[in-house]
Amino acid sequence: MDRILLNDGNKIPAIGFGVFMIENNGPAYEAVMKALAAGYPHIDTAAAYFNEEDVGRAVRDSGLPRSEVFITSKLWLSDHGYEGAKRGLARSLKKLGTDYIDLYLIHQPYGDVAGAWRALEEAKAAGLIRSIGVSNMTPKLYKELTASFSVKPAVDQVEFNPLFQQRPLRALLQEDGVKLEAWYPLGHGDASLLLHPLITELAKKYGKSAAQIILRFEVQEGAIVLPKSTDAEHIKANIDIFDFALTKEELTALAALDSGKGKHDPEAPGIGEMLSKAYIIED
């Protein structure tokens, strides 16, 4: 498994297993157990996914040493601010049943981000978190919100796939050595992506699925990808992308698919308030 060096000196696996919208108390546990058995070294969860307990239990029951499983979780809006972030982190650690989290992100770029970030910097220094990062930050939000940070984020986890390649953001992140993590790396099942003639042609050439071609492109572009599935065969297939490489010409052709537009706009009016009401985190 390829590992990517972060700007804080830690390394992160190039591919992780996402558990967004997989229910707790069974389904998420089973999915993570399948992913770990298939060789995924990285599990990506969040307080607002409401399945941290299942993720932690699966990691413990897998028999793998904790040091061999990279766990990401995320702080929710209701815990923004200095004291709130300490509370939210403590809750995530408890639910995961672990002494530390490999990567902890500010999930949404609204509210008292500066106060929350200060608490995460302290938690990192104390060893409760190995790396800290942000999520859903556009170029505008990144420049505004990280200006006061003493420690630059290690990653920005955002929507990313061949149809939305985040070029302005990637150029900005590169200046600070910040890596891009891709949620919805397969376009959330978008048929216009999975059935695109270029992608199906490459899939035929390499004897791979359309999903594998897409994920391979993203990895070669330097993104950390987080595909999600509950199907055992799809879980296995999504990590089977390290036995081939796309050519420079093929990468250029896939790069040309970029529309510059995604499905989620973090700068949309009222989006922060809407999200804060949509997900209520409880102890």
Is the pLDDT assigned to residue 1 strictly greater than 80? Answer: no
Nearest to 145 by CA among 106, 89, 103, 88: 106
Please state at what angle helix 52-61 crosses helix 27-38, rounded to 10 degrees: 40
What is the rounded radius of gyration, in angstroms, for the C-alpha atoms of the chain? 18
Which pLDDT value is given to residue 2?
86
- Residues 196-252 pLDDT 10s: 999 999 999 999 999 999 999 999 999 999 999 999 999 999 999 999 999 999 999
Per-residue model confidence (pLDDT) at position 203: 98
CA distance 205 to 200: 9
Given a contact cutoff of 8 angstroms between Cβ atoms, the answer to whether 155 and 133 are in contact is yes
Any catalytic annotation for residue 206?
Answer: no
Report which of 200, 239, 202 is spatially closest to residue 219, judged by C-alpha positions: 239
Q: How confident is the model at residue 47 (pLDDT cuts 50, 70, 90)?
A: very high
The domain defined by 3-278 carries CATH number 3.90.1150.10 = no
Q: What is the pLDDT of residue 55?
A: 98
Q: Which of 29, 40, 49, 142 is catalytic?
A: 49
Helix/strand/coil for 70? strand
Mean pLDDT for the chain? 96
Q: Give me the residue spans of the domains in the chain.
A: 3-278
Residue range 9-31, pLDDT digits in tens: 999 999 999 999 999 999 999 99
